[in-house]
Each structure stands twice: as C-alpha cells, then as structure tokens.
Amino acid sequence: MYQSFIGLEVHIHLLTKTKVFCGCRSAFGDEPNANVCPVCLGYPGVLPVLNREAVKMGCMVAKALNCTIPEKTWFERKQYFYPDMTKNYQISQFASPLGQNGCVDIEGTWGVKRVRIHECHLEEDAGKMIHTGAVSLLDYNRAGVSLLEIVTEPDMETGEQAEVFIQQFRRMVRYLGVCDGNMEEGSLRADANVSINLPGKGLGKKVEIKNLNSSRFVRLGLNYEIERQAKVLDAGKAVTQETRLWNQNRDQTEPMRHKENAQDYRYFPEPDLPVFEPDAAFLKSVEDAMVELPLPRQKRLENECGVSPEQAAIICEERAFADYFESAVAAALRISSGLDKKSAASRIANWLLTDIKHILARDGVALSAIGSFTLTVDRFARLVAMTADGSLSTKNAKQALELALSEDRDPAVIIREKGWEQITDPAKIAEVVALVEQEEAATIAEAREAAAAKNQKRRRTLAAFLVGKALEKTQGRADPRVVGKQMQAIIDAVNGGA
C-alpha cells in the first residue's frame, strides 16, 4: 500500500462590486466585453488602483483559515503570454501573500483532520476564451476580477477528504459573504495536486488535476489518479510529473494535450502599486466583518440546543437557514413559557428539517432565501408553540401551515377562525368519551376481554379504534393523549372490578 498526499489550490471570485485594480463592474453573465476599460484591458501606461474591499475580503478568509496577516503585503507581476490576458502578466502575490501559515479542520468519517494552509493571496482573474469551431472568441469581462487563491499543504489523503475540504470551505466563504461559491459559474474553482509514495518515503512525484468544476469531480479525479499512480508504481515505472485534465464524460484523468513546461514567471514587484500596510483601523474593519463560522456554530447548536450532529450540520448548511432556526427558537421561548430551550429547539429542528424543508423545495425557495419566506419566524414560532402546549394537533398544525403559506397570513389567526384549537379540557373530553362508550359498548366489552386474556395486541388495536371514534367526534381537535388516558381508564375500571 502507498501513502497519498493531496494539496489543493482553490480560487474564489470575491464579491466586490468592482474589479480588483479598476472601477469596472464585477459580474457574471453580462454581455461579453461590456465591463472593460483600459486598465483591465492592459493598455500601455495605465495605472492599477488597489480595491481595498478586495483586500478586506481576502483578509477575512485569511483569518477564517487561521492565517497570519503580515505587516506588509504587496503585489508582483507574474509574466506569461496568453490571449486571455492582454498585459502579458498577471498581477498576483508571491513573496508576501496576505494570509500565511494557517490551518483548518475538516470533519468526516475519518474524524477530525487538520489541513495546513500554506497561504492565501490576492490576484486578478484572466479573461475567458470561448472556442467555437474554427474561431476562438475572447470575453474580457472576467479580466481583472478579484480572485483569492488558497493553497493548502499536501495534508489530505483521499478524494473524500478533498471533497469535504472544498464543501466546508465553500460553506465558510458563503457565511463570510465574500464569495457565492458557485462552482458551475466558476466563482469557486479548484486544482488538485496528488502524489503517492511508499509509507515513510515522503512526497512522491506530483500530478496536478485541472478542470474540476464540482467537489464531486475533485473526489472522483483524485481517487482515480491515486489508483492510476499505484498501478504505474506497481509496474515498476515512475509517475510522470504533469498536469492532467479530468474528463467528466469518461470518468478519468487525461494528460493535457500540450504539456506546459514549468515556466519561469520572472516574478518581480509590481512597480505601480504601493506596498499595503494594514493599519489598526483596517484590521478592526476586518475583525468587525467576521461572523461566527459554520463549524463552530454547528458545535454550539449541538451543545446549546441539543440537536443531533446530523441536524446541526443541515441547519448550518446556509447561514440564513441557521439564523432562521435560532430566531425561531428565541421567538418560541418568548411566546411559550412552558418551553425550555432544548425542547423548543428540538421541535423547531424537526419541523424545519422535514415539513418546512420540503415546502421550500416544493416552492422553489432556496435555503439561503428563507429570510424572506412567507412563513416569518414569528408565525412559525407561534405554530410550534401551539403544538408544544397541546392547543393544536400536529395534523391541524400542518393544515394551518399550508394555509398560512398560500394565504400569506398568521397561522394563529387561521387556527382561531377555523376553530382548530385542540380541546384539552378533561371534562369536555369526558363528555365525548362517554358518548363513544355508549355507542361502542360491544367494542369496549371486547377490549376488556382482550385485556383479561392478556392479549395486549388486540386490546391496543381496539383501544386505538375507540380513541379514533372520539377524535372523529371532535373533528380531530380533542387531545389524543387525554382521550387515550380516559378510554384506557374505562376499559381498565370494569376489568379491574370484575
């Protein structure tokens, strides 16, 4: 068996309104070449101006990845020729990346794994080439868009770990609000590096896999490559250090047609941009913009709210969804004095992860858009509080929920109008139970016989039937727990006396 080493290079588009060195709009999907100017088209003699918002967002990611932000950070020119980059160099960072020496934990079937982060650096994206038959078209809208690159150390071992790294990182940058994480649109892109070697022999010859536009492809591509390299070594051959492309139609990696040589980029400091020295005010603005990150939030909800790790993970998938959950718990506690935090949270989690989640999917509301959902937190909390204190049956609560959504009204009002409040008063319920006792005398007798004969199954079936009769008489409004108790008492009483 071999040991494997995986390091990722993840690029994210920062959600700055304008590009990183000019005032052009930074947006996906606009008319080609609509958002360009002499700076991002690389005309001679123009001057780049650093977008501070991009640096701030970059520093937020750096902090979230536990990186050190250096006292001085600057830019270099990374020189190479390619038609998607008219300047023939990319402004990037080389010697002083804005985030250095971090680490992040990833959780999965392997437990907790710490992945060291080598650096995060800010750079400009290149334009986009569109190949159509005999011609290639160039769209420079993307040229100059703020790009943050995160480079990990080769600390991961399996495709699964790399997949989880990307998923957790994606969730993190979405929480921070610095990237939309859309892999299909290329707002989050990953290149995966992998080598294998005999245990204890250190890193092997590395292969870089490109063209991985989903976290699933990252997993598949890496696992394919680990197997492929093992076969090469098993055959007594050496792995070629190269760049390969993931072919999603054939589920395999393939060598890139024209092999890129290790270029000499001739990095040198960008003379047109001053060194950036984050001062106290800047660092405070970064600190103030930070939010509770998804993984710690997940742990906090497990501890504070008693939800299961699986539930906490789903709740925390989107920040807006977790906010909705926590606001609903707080609102339910305000409304209902009988609820404690854990019982409120468990009820709300159950509703949220089953009925509400289904409804959101059905109505095409994204989890991230739940903040503007028709069912406001207060309406939802009232519904939950009413089922918790027994004044509303689950069945009627679900009906009220649907009406509240279709009519955009407070479910509490609907419940009052419909007369759906649950009947919990034992005296009222006793009247109904007495009626059933008269009408179903034969069934009661049979239930008593079953009880006497210790035929529990039969007794339970008959008792359930009798409870059902009583519920029918109240259109389902009688509290089934109270009905059940009273019905049982009737069966037991005579049975005990006989």
Q: Contact positions toward ligand ADP, by CB under 6 A?
A: 5, 7-9, 151-154, 193-195, 203-204, 206
35 or 96: CB nearest Zn ion: 35
Cα(207)–Cα(117) distance, integer angstroms: 19
154 binds, among ligand ADP, Zn ion, none (CB under 5 to 8 A by kind): ligand ADP
Q: Which residues bind Zn ion (CB under 5 A)?
A: 22, 24, 37, 39-40
Rounded to a whole number of angstroms, the minimum distance from the CB of residue 262 to ligand ADP is 7
37 binds, among Zn ion, ligand ADP, none (CB under 5 to 8 A by kind): Zn ion
Using the minimum distance from each CB to ligand ADP, give the nearer residue, 40 or 150: 150
User: What's the min distance (Å) between Cβ of 335 and Zn ion?
Assistant: 53
Taking the complex as a whole, the smallest distance from the CB of residue 358 to ligand ADP amounts, in Å, to 40
Tell which phi-psi region holds residue 29, choosing left (phi > 0), alpha (psi between -120 and 50) or beta.
left
Residue 305 binds which of ligand ADP, Zn ion, none (CB < 5-8 A, kind-dependent)? none
CA distance 189 to 213: 6
Q: Judged by CB, which is closer to ligand ADP: 10, or 487? A: 10
Q: Which does 253 bind (CB under 5 to 8 A by kind): ligand ADP, Zn ion, none?
A: none
Q: Phi/psi of residue 397, each to 5°? A: -65, -40
**Residue found under tokens 């402004």:** 91
Pairing assessment for the beta strands 207-212 and 242-247 based on DSSP bridges: parallel
Of 93, 17, 77, which Cα lies nearest the Cα of 53?
A: 17
CB of 116 or CB of 341, closer to ligand ADP? 116
The site partner of 7 among Zn ion, ligand ADP, none (C-beta below 5 to 8 Å per kind) is ligand ADP
Q: Are strands 146-152 and 135-139 parallel, antiparallel or unpaired?
A: unpaired
Helices (H), 36-157: 52-64
Tell me how far apart the alpha carbons of residues 476 and 377 are, in angstroms, rounded to a whole number: 27
Q: Which does 24 bind (CB under 5 to 8 A by kind): ligand ADP, Zn ion, none?
A: Zn ion
Contacts (Cβ under 8 Å, ≥6 apart) of 33: 138, 139, 140, 141
Q: Residue 7 or 144: which CB sits closer to ligand ADP?
A: 7
> Rounded to the nearest whole angstrom, what is the least distance from the CB of residue 197 to ligand ADP in the complex?
8
Report the C-alpha gap between 215 and 222 in whole angstroms: 11
Which CB sits closer to ligand ADP, 205 or 428?
Answer: 205
The nearest distance, CB 155 to ligand ADP, in angstroms, is: 8
CA distance between the termini of the chain: 75
- Enter the DSSP assignment of 70: P
